[in-house]
């Protein structure tokens, strides 16, 4: 039984750029395979279960689902499209035998598809290409196929990988075609391609067990759930096994309940075999990358290597005058416990304790990776402060190196000058430039990660919202020299109180405001951005002196300019190194690290 083939299983991962219809396609496969009952009410984009994923329309966590078609079980793993969640991608691809690459028929392959595809081709996985949204009016199917082939060649695909099957689909309308002139019915051509083109899992069924954990989920009732694939042998409920830990130690465990996947549900099973993707509960201290082995023959599989973090931030206990008003969890004990819990499932994250018990250094794969964590925590009731993101430097061959990103921008031609100028000062080098069929410019750059911090909002302003930008981590290179910080100072409230129309009216000629009237502020809180490069202490709570000659009602006649509302990401991009973002479940404030204005003035002089 040394080469047992599981004809009844196919394991695939789906790769697509944000918004190319991956999740909608999975919805269609689930519905048409009869996995849902006809009367079952199914949410749209059913795979994006996390609230943040649904809001932003992106997939953050890799997820598992399974459909059965003509007696064959197809395990589908959804992968994140964002390079910031690369830690998720690498593990997931270890579980599958093929990838389904979904490409938009109008947009063509995008930078973030490139990142995941490169990983898949490197692992020798054979792809199936689905050109989606073929019913778009602006679709350009032939050109997109050429672009996909170019991309494969560019990423070093071998001859076998270049012989990929192509399907044409509209996930929204629920059909796929082998050829463009076929009649559009349903997704049968896609089901059949998966069954005939994806290699079924094979290996030794009688050999000792090897089950590698690639994802950890947490359930409030069951505790930790380890998800992975059986690479060898079989597993039974209640059997004794050995967990080969990442640090080389062995731990004896008893296999408790375990589950297979059916649709989006976990279904309890009594035994599972080589090639099955299952979820095991009841193993306490289990981590990603560890192998569950046979007691007599503990042979671990190679560890799963995850790319290193590129950015770090300090998370600290909120100590502003508003501390503890809105948050449920506010102490350093709460903050530490929550960050440690995050480490269990978020592999690309690293947390280090600092000299202060109230501050933790958190390392991640990019601004998005860290801001998603911050947003998740505030929604759970946490209140804390974070510092400006800084890049992680490392020494290679005696030289200090910094992370470098591949930046892709798509802009109308009129904005090329201003974009090139801004990126030039941020140490970007242009790699190439093409014109798209609709007259836009596609420009590719190489830029230090720190040059990208704070650039997105600048880019949107410079291109008046008409530009698109994406970036992908490339690697580490020697330090590129100075990059200027933001060129405008902050407007800082110099006393605590409530803002007045009169006070704000007098301040607005000095810059742009972040807050309106009737808002409570404290000394040292940032209320706007100065037109000049230095910080300015301002009185936004100033009241007009009322005498019998001047009525206080005249305030209503003062016209305030519209305020700038910053999102969490924009706040992180905006702050300077002596500033913090105060995050609570209900609000986000910007503040100076040192609140006392006199003390700040002394520090500047000193």
Task: Please give the model's pTM, rounded to 2 decimal places.
Answer: 0.70
Find all residues with CB under 8 Å of 481, minimum gap 6, and list them. 427
Structure token pair of residue 146: 């050429």
Domain count, the chain: 4
Per-residue tokens: 585: 């479940």
Q: Are 198 and 128 in contact (CB under 8 A)?
A: yes
Phi and psi (nearest 5°) for 89? Answer: -60, -50
Contacts (Cβ under 8 Å, ≥6 apart) of 155: 114, 117, 118, 121
CA dist 517 and 503 (Å) reads 9
**What pLDDT was estimated at residue 88?**
59
Q: Comparing C-alpha atoms, which of 80, 112, 77 is closest to residue 98?
A: 77
User: At residue 306, does pLDDT exceed 80?
Assistant: no
Q: What is the CATH number of the domain that holds 502?
A: 2.40.50.250
381 in a structural domain: no
Taking residues 450-464, what's their average pLDDT?
A: 80
**Closest by Cα among 91, 182, 165 to 128:** 165
For 313-355, the pLDDT digits (tens) are: 999 999 999 999 999 999 999 999 999 988 877 777 889 999 9
Query: pLDDT tens, 98-150?
Result: 988 888 888 888 766 777 788 888 888 889 999 988 888 888 888 889 888 98
Task: Please tell me what DSSP assigns to residue 553.
Answer: G
pLDDT at residue 490, rounded to an integer? 93
**What pLDDT is stored for residue 150 in this prediction?**
87
Report residue 446's pLDDT band, with 50, 70 and 90 as the boundaries: very high
Let me know whether 258 and 283 are in one domain: yes
Q: What local confidence, expressed as pLDDT, does residue 380 receive?
A: 92
| Residue 300 counted as domain residue | no
Is 129 inside a domain boundary? yes
Query: Residue 383: what pLDDT?
Result: 95
582, 509: one domain: yes
Q: Are 559 and 302 in contact (CB under 8 A)?
A: no
> In angstroms, how far is CA 131 from the centroid of its own chain?
24
pLDDT of 298 strictly over 90: no
CATH number at residue 408: 3.30.70.240
- Residues 6 or more apart whose Cβ sits within 8 Å of residue 72: 7, 8, 9, 10, 195
Domain ranges, residue 249: 204-293
CA max distance for the chain: 101
Sequence-distant (≥ 6) Cβ neighbours of residue 394 within 8 angstroms:
308, 400, 401, 476
Give per-residue pLDDT as tens, 81-102: 444 445 556 677 888 889 888 8
154 and 231 in a single domain? The answer is no
Contact between 308 and 475 (Cβ < 8 Å)? no
Q: For residue 412, what pLDDT band results from cuts at 50, 70 and 90?
A: confident
In this predicted structure, what is the pLDDT of residue 44?
42
Q: What is the pLDDT of residue 47?
A: 43
pLDDT at residue 549, rounded to an integer: 55
What pLDDT is stored for residue 138 in this prediction?
80
What region, left, alpha or beta, does residue 174 occupy, with left being phi > 0 and alpha being psi -120 to 50 degrees?
Answer: left
What pLDDT, on the 0 to 100 scale, is given for residue 45? Answer: 41
CB neighbourhood size of 52 (10 A): 14
C-alpha separations of 466 from 36, 37, 459 in Å: 41, 44, 9
- Asked if the structure places residue 318 within a domain, the reply is no
Going by C-alpha positions, the residue among 94, 161, 88, 166 that lies closest to residue 134 is 166
Q: Find out whether 209 and 172 touch, Cβ atoms under 8 Å.
A: no
Highest mean pLDDT among 73-77, 132-136, 254-258, 489-493: 489-493
d(CA 562, CA 573): 21
Asked if 91 and 180 sit in the same domain, the reply is: yes
Closest CA to 383 of 302, 325, 340, 425: 325
Q: How many CB atoms lie within 10 A of CB 470?
A: 21
**pLDDT value of residue 493:** 94
pLDDT surpasses 70 at 486: yes
Whether 352 is covered by a domain: the verdict is no
Verify that 158 and 186 share a domain, yes or no: yes
pLDDT digits (tens, 9 = 90+) for 171-230: 888 888 888 888 878 888 888 898 888 889 888 888 888 999 887 777 667 777 888 899
Same domain, 189 and 216: no
- Given this model, what pLDDT does residue 601 score? 87
pLDDT digits (tens, 9 = 90+) for 379-398: 999 999 999 999 999 888 89
> What pLDDT sits at residue 551?
54
Q: What is the CATH number of the domain that holds 269?
A: 2.40.30.10
**Buried b or exposed e, range 366-391, using 16+ CB within 10 angstroms:** bbbbbbbbbbbbbeeebbbbbbbbeb
Reported as a pLDDT band with limits 50, 70 and 90, residue 46 is: very low
- Split at pLDDT 50, 70, 90, the class of 452 is confident
Going by pLDDT thresholds of 50, 70 and 90, the confidence category of residue 475 is: confident
Residues 159 and 275 in one domain: no
The answer as to whether 468 is a domain residue is yes
Rounded to an integer, the average pLDDT of 474-501 is 88
My answer on whether 208 and 121 are in the same domain is: no
**Under 8 Å between Cβ of 552 and 536:** no
Are 191 and 272 in a shared domain? no
Q: What is the mean pLDDT of residues 259-283?
A: 83
564-573 mean pLDDT? 86
Identify the domain boundary among 453, 478, 503.
478
C-beta of residue 367 within 8 angstroms of C-beta of residue 311: yes
Q: Are residues 287 and 269 in the same domain?
A: yes
How far apart (Å, rounded) are the C-alpha atoms in residues 288 and 215?
A: 6
Residues 451, 554, single domain; the answer is no
Q: Is residue 364 part of a domain?
A: no
As annotated, the binding site for GTP includes 19-24, 132-135
In a domain, 173, yes or no: yes
Last residue of a domain, one of 293, 327, 344: 293
**Structure tokens that stand for 479 in this block:** 């330090």
User: Can you read off the two tokens belonging to residue 206?
Assistant: 């009688």
Of 478, 502, 529, the one marking the end of a domain is 478
Please report, in range form, the residues annotated as the binding site.
Answer: 19-24, 132-135
Helix, strand, coil share of the chain (percent; to 5)? 25, 35, 40
Q: Taking 50 as the threshold, does the pLDDT of residue 57 lie above it?
A: no
Say how far apart CA 20 and CA 472 lie, in whole Å.
Answer: 18
> What are the tens digits of pLDDT across the range 353-370?
999 999 999 998 877 778
CB atoms within 10 A of CB 556: 8
Per the prediction, the chain carries an average pLDDT of 83
Q: Say if CB 430 and CB 388 are below 8 A apart.
A: no
Position 538 scores a pLDDT of 93
Beta strands in 233-331 (DSSP E): 234-236, 240-244, 250-254, 258-262, 265-269, 271-273, 277-281, 291-293, 311-317
Task: CATH number of the domain at 139, please.
Answer: 3.40.50.300
Same domain, 46 and 142: yes
Q: What percentage of residues in the chain have a pLDDT greater than 90?
A: 24
Contact 62, 78 (CB under 8 A): yes
| Contact call for residues 130 and 103 (beta carbons, < 8 A) | yes
Q: What is the mean pLDDT of residues 432-460?
A: 82
């Amino acid at each position: 039984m040394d080469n047992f083939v599981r004809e009844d299983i196919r394991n695939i991962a789906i790769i697509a750029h944000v918004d190319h219809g991956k999740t909608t396609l999975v919805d269609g496969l689930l519905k048409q395979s009869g996995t849902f009952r006809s009367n079952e009410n199914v949410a749209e984009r059913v795979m994006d279960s996390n609230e943040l994923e649904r809001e932003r329309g992106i997939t953050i966590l890799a997820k598992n689902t399974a459909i059965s078609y003509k007696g064959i079980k197809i395990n589908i793993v959804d992968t994140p499209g964002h390079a910031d969640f690369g830690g998720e991608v690498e593990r997931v691809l270890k579980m599958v035998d093929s990838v389904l690459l979904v490409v938009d028929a109008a947009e063509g392959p995008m930078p973030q598809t490139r990142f995941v595809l490169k990983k898949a081709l490197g692992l020798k996985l054979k792809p199936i290409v689905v050109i989606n949204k073929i019913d778009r009016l602006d679709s350009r199917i032939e050109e997109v196929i050429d672009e996909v082939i170019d991309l494969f060649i560019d990423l070093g695909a071998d001859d076998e990988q270049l012989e990929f099957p192509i399907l044409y689909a509209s996930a929204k309308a629920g059909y796929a075609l082998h050829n463009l002139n076929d009649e559009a019915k349903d997704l049968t051509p896609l089901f059949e391609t998966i069954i005939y083109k994806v290699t079924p899992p094979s290996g030794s069924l009688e050999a000792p067990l090897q089950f590698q954990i690639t994802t950890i989920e947490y359930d409030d009732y069951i505790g930790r759930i380890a998800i992975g694939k059986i690479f060898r042998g079989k597993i039974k409920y209640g059997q004794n096994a050995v967990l080969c830990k990442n640090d080389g130690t062995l731990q004896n465990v008893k296999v408790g309940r375990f589950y297979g996947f059916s649709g989006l549900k976990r279904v309890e099973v009594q035994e599972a075999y080589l090639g099955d993707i299952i979820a095991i509960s009841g193993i306490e201290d289990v981590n990603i990358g560890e192998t569950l082995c046979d007691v007599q023959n503990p042979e671990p599989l190679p560890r799963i290597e995850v790319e290193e973090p590129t950015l770090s931030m300090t998370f600290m206990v909120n100590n502003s005058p508003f501390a503890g008003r809105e948050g449920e969890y506010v102490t350093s004990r709460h903050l530490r416990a929550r960050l440690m819990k995050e480490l269990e499932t978020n592999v690309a994250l690293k947390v280090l304790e600092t000299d202060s018990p109230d501050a933790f250094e958190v390392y991640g794969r990019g601004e998005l990776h860290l801001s998603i964590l911050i947003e998740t925590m505030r929604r759970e009731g946490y209140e804390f402060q974070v510092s400006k993101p800084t890049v992680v430097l490392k020494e290679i061959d005696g030289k200090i190196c910094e992370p470098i990103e591949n930046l892709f921008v798509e802009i109308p031609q009129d904005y090329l000058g201003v974009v090139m100028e801004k990126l030039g000062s941020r140490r970007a080098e242009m790699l190439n430039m093409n014109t798209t069929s609709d007259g836009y410019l596609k420009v590719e750059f190489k830029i230090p990660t720190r040059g990208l911090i704070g650039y997105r909002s600048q880019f949107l302003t410079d291109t008046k919202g008409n530009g698109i930008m994406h970036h992908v981590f490339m690697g580490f290179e020697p330090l590129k020299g100075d990059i200027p910080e933001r060129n405008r100072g902050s407007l800082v409230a110099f006393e605590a109180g409530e803002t007045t129309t009169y006070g704000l009216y007098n301040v607005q000629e000095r810059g742009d405001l972040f807050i309106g009237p009737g808002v409570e502020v404290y000394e040292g809180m940032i209320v706007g951005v100065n037109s000049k490069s230095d910080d300015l202490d301002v009185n936004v709570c100033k009241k007009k002196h009322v005498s019998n000659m001047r009525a206080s009602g005249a305030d209503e006649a003062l016209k305030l300019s519209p305020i700038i509302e910053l999102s969490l990401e924009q706040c992180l991009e905006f702050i300077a190194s002596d500033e913090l973002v105060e995050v609570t479940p209900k609000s986000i404030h910007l503040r100076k690290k040192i609140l006392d204005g006199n003390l700040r003035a002394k520090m500047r002089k000193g």
